[in-house]
């Protein structure tokens, strides 16, 4: 309404000045027709711009909604591929909408938009961010599984098939190691690195073995002299299934003397998931 009022005032002034300066009425009509056409052209441009702004506003609203969903997922701390796929909008949809709006605008010869301020200018920079986000999510989904525990005191003449209890737990990522049992219960199937160290006091000899579900997978043996203590370590790489039970025990025979575990050397048990 304001633009129409301004145009009418301008038109009256044109007619008055035309009459004052002796301009023929036919010339005045031509001028009025020209001004009317220019005014209609301006209205068409404004209409196209309004349509463009409306479409871009809708696109921005969709983006804001999905960004909000992503933020809520990240804050909740539970990210999975399903949630990511549901909130991961298609860039092609945005590009198609932007291209359609641009095509509609180029139909009017008098319109020219500055590409620097064009809303789709962010699209080429968005793709690396999405890829980085997906990589971050995949890394977040890989929970570390690792443990390390040792015996708090020496063990005198444990006998055969005695399960060693490593009662001091220093690391237990994934909560697979159970200190009261001395057993590592596999939280997730995969390839694991397992290691255990046995220390002995003087004049002792013992053999210990790593057992998975009552099946022996490795063993170590140590015999110390009469004047010094010593230690030995065993290492294995095993393919383990979820809920497999892994523990260390003495062998059925060849067990004499004291297993040592103090500040000078710890009898310990450890392992971690490789992949």
pLDDT for 42: 79
Decide if 197 contacts 215 (C-beta within 8 A).
Answer: no
pLDDT for 114: 47
* SS3 call for 81: helix
Task: Give Cβ neighbours of residue 169 (< 8 Å, ≥ 6 apart).
Answer: 147, 148, 149, 177, 179
The pTM of the full predicted model, rounded to 2 decimals, is 0.50
Mean pLDDT, consecutive 10-residue segments, the chain of 275 residues?
59 60 59 74 80 83 81 67 54 52 50 46 48 49 89 94 96 96 96 97 94 96 93 97 97 91 96 95
pLDDT for 111: 43
Distance of alpha carbon 150 from alpha carbon 152, whole angstroms: 6
pLDDT for 63: 82
Distance of alpha carbon 35 from alpha carbon 107, whole angstroms: 22
pLDDT for 137: 47
Distance of alpha carbon 162 from alpha carbon 93, whole angstroms: 66
Decide if 189 contacts 240 (C-beta within 8 A).
Answer: yes
Distance of alpha carbon 106 from alpha carbon 79, whole angstroms: 43
* Cα-trace Rg, the chain: 40
Distance of alpha carbon 154 from alpha carbon 173, whole angstroms: 26
pLDDT for 59: 82
pLDDT for 87: 53
pLDDT for 86: 57
pLDDT for 38: 76
Three-state SS string across the chain, please?
CHHHHHHHHHHHHHHHHHHHCCCCHHHHHHHHHHHHHHHHHHHHHHHHHHHHHHHHHHHHHHHHHHHHHHHHHHHHCCCCHHHHHHHCCCHHHHHHHHHHHHHHHHCCCCCCCCHHHCHHHHHHHHHHHHHHHHHHHHHHHCCCCEEEEECCCCEECCCCCCECCCCEEEEEECCCEECCCCEEECCCCEEEEEEEEEEECCCCEEEEEEEECCEEEEEEEEECCCCCCEEEEEEEEEEECCCCEEEEEECCCCCECEEECECCECCEEEEEECC
């Amino acid at each position: 309404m304001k633009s129409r009022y301004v145009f009418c005032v301008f038109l009256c002034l044109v007619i008055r000045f035309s009459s004052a300066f002796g301009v023929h009425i036919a010339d005045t009509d031509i001028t009025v027709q020209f001004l009317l056409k220019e005014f209609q052209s301006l209205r068409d441009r404004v209409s196209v711009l309004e349509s463009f702004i409306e479409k871009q506003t809708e696109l921005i609203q969709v983006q804001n909604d999905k960004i909000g969903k992503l933020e809520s997922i990240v804050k909740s701390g539970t990210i999975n591929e399903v949630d990511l796929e549901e909130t991961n909008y298609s860039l092609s949809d945005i590009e198609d909408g932007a291209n359609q709006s641009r095509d509609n605008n180029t139909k009017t010869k008098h319109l020219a938009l500055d590409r620097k301020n064009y809303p789709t200018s962010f699209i080429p920079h968005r793709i690396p961010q999405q890829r980085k986000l997906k990589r971050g999510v995949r890394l977040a989904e890989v929970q570390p599984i690792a443990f390390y525990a040792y015996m708090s005191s020496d063990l005198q003449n444990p006998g055969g098939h005695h399960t060693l209890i490593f009662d001091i737990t220093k690391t237990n990522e994934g909560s697979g190691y159970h200190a009261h049992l001395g057993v590592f219960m596999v939280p997730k199937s995969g390839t694991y690195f397992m290691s255990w160290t046995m220390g002995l006091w003087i004049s002792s000899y013992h053999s210990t073995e790593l057992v998975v579900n009552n099946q022996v997978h490795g063993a170590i043996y140590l015999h110390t002299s009469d004047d010094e203590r010593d230690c030995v370590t065993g290492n294995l790489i095993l393919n383990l299934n979820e809920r497999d039970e892994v523990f260390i025990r003495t062998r059925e025979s060849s067990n004499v003397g004291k297993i040592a575990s103090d500040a000078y050397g710890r009898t310990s048990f450890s392992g971690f998931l490789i992949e």
